[in-house]
Amino acid sequence: MTDYPISGFVAPGFEPVQEAFEANFAEEKELGAGFSAFLDGAPIVELHGGFADRKRETLWGDQTIVPVYSTTKPIAALTLARVIDALPAGYETAVADVWPEFGANGKDEITIAELVSHQAGLPGFVDPIDPALWLDPPACAAALAHLAPLWAPGTAHGYHPLTWGYLIGELVRRIEGRSLGTILREDIARPAKIDFQIGTPAADHPRVAEIMRPRALPDLGEINEATRAAFLTKWAAPDRGGALWREIEIPSANGIGTASAVAQLYGIYAYGGLLNGQRVISEAAFDALTQSRVKGQDLVLPYVTEFAAGVMLNNIGLYGPNPDTLCHSGWGGSLALADPDRHLSAAYVMNRQSNSLQADPRATRLIQALYGCL
């Protein structure tokens, strides 16, 4: 068995969380990982361990950052919520009112609420594209704006794994003038000294952990046109992991940070729009952000899913016992949650990916241990 050094701390009474974290390593399920939890605004768990590289030469330290893939989406949704008050109708505004080109091919009545809750029918490109398009966010957003939806918008929902971020990123830019990643950095993360970015500059790349990708595809259930467009074509995703991929902004997929940073940002959900006691999202915008928008069989994922305005609701209990918990998972196993009833937030990040779509067993073990200590 490889020796995986582990560092950090747990508050008294939360020792079982460290035991669960160590067990993931002892069972050879990890390369490097971090887990963080905050209760009533105070850190109760800060653990990191293993290695930041596949050769096991660089230890995973408290400054190691890592892509969290779709666990980024609720953080991007917080950023949209910060600027949504500029629109008198808020989330009920038609996207085309802000971004006229988006109204092409029958999409003129799609609201922002429908777009961010995966109802727009744009989970991917059915027809071939050059995968390099994903590395040019303005061009990719423009291409998506001209697509016809795969289902009648507002009649169903299907997860938009990558396209969601390009659409939301362009929407935020049209509303506020600055990019989504810039707003996140300048208005939220940097003032609070939170180590998380969407659009990570080259100076931070040496801190980014190397990803060990899964050897098998996830179980996507019965394959349909929407699932194929979202995940299974040769052009469904860019070359992830290169310098350009890290530096551009993909608000659906390339947020990079520490477990502590992710847990702190999800803490905004646990505290009703407050960060460190300061309001970063208006009460009205936060209520609209966290309102359930759709629940039912997902047309892309093999689950019943429930979405608010960019964040999932814990409708099937994979993220602890509270159905009102706000949550999301990311490709390969990352996970974060915010339990508003307990003022609890937590995040798990790692660089050895699994093929789990939701609630990776490593994260589930940690979340169960955490709740068992409360």
Whether the CB-CB separation of 304 and 314 falls below 8 Å is answered with no
Whether residue 112 is contained in a domain is answered as yes
Q: What is the CATH number of the domain that holds 218?
A: 3.40.710.10
Give residue for tokens 């799609």: 110
Whether the CB-CB separation of 181 and 199 falls below 8 Å is answered with yes
Whether residue 60 is contained in a domain is answered as no
Low-confidence ranges of the chain (pLDDT < 50): 1
Whether residue 230 is contained in a domain is answered as yes
Q: What is the pLDDT of residue 2?
A: 60
> What is the three-class DSSP state of 245?
helix
Whether residue 51 is contained in a domain is answered as no
Q: What is the pLDDT of residue 3?
A: 80
CA–CA gap between residue 327 and residue 325 (Å, rounded): 6
Helix (H) or strand (E) holding 226: helix 225-227
CA–CA gap between residue 168 and residue 152 (Å, rounded): 20
Crossing angle for the helix pair 73-83 and 163-176, to the nearest 10 degrees: 20
Mean residue pLDDT across the chain? 96
Whether residue 123 is contained in a domain is answered as yes
Reported pTM: 0.97
Q: What is the pLDDT of residue 317?
A: 83
Query: For residue 255, what are the β-bridge partners?
Result: 198
What digits encode the pLDDT tens for the residues 308-349?
A: 999 999 987 889 999 999 999 999 999 999 999 999 999 999
Residues of the chain above pLDDT 70, percent: 99
Instruction: Outline where 51-210 has alpha helix (H).
Output: 73-83, 95-98, 112-116, 137-145, 163-176, 180-183
CA–CA gap between residue 72 and residue 262 (Å, rounded): 9
CA–CA gap between residue 76 and residue 168 (Å, rounded): 8
| Number of CB atoms found within 10 A of residue 40's CB | 10
CA–CA gap between residue 317 and residue 43 (Å, rounded): 24
CA–CA gap between residue 24 and residue 4 (Å, rounded): 10
Beta strands in the chain (DSSP E): 6-10, 32-39, 42-50, 66-67, 196-198, 255-257, 274-275, 278-279, 294-297, 304-307, 312-313, 326-329, 335-339, 344-350
Of the candidates 90, 95, 80, the one whose C-alpha atom is nearest the C-alpha of residue 149 is 95
- Total structural domains within the chain: 1
Whether the CB-CB separation of 338 and 325 falls below 8 Å is answered with yes
Whether residue 25 is contained in a domain is answered as no
Structural domain of residue 97, as residue ranges?
A: 65-357
Q: What is the pLDDT of residue 311?
A: 98
Whether residue 30 is contained in a domain is answered as no
Whether residue 50 is contained in a domain is answered as no
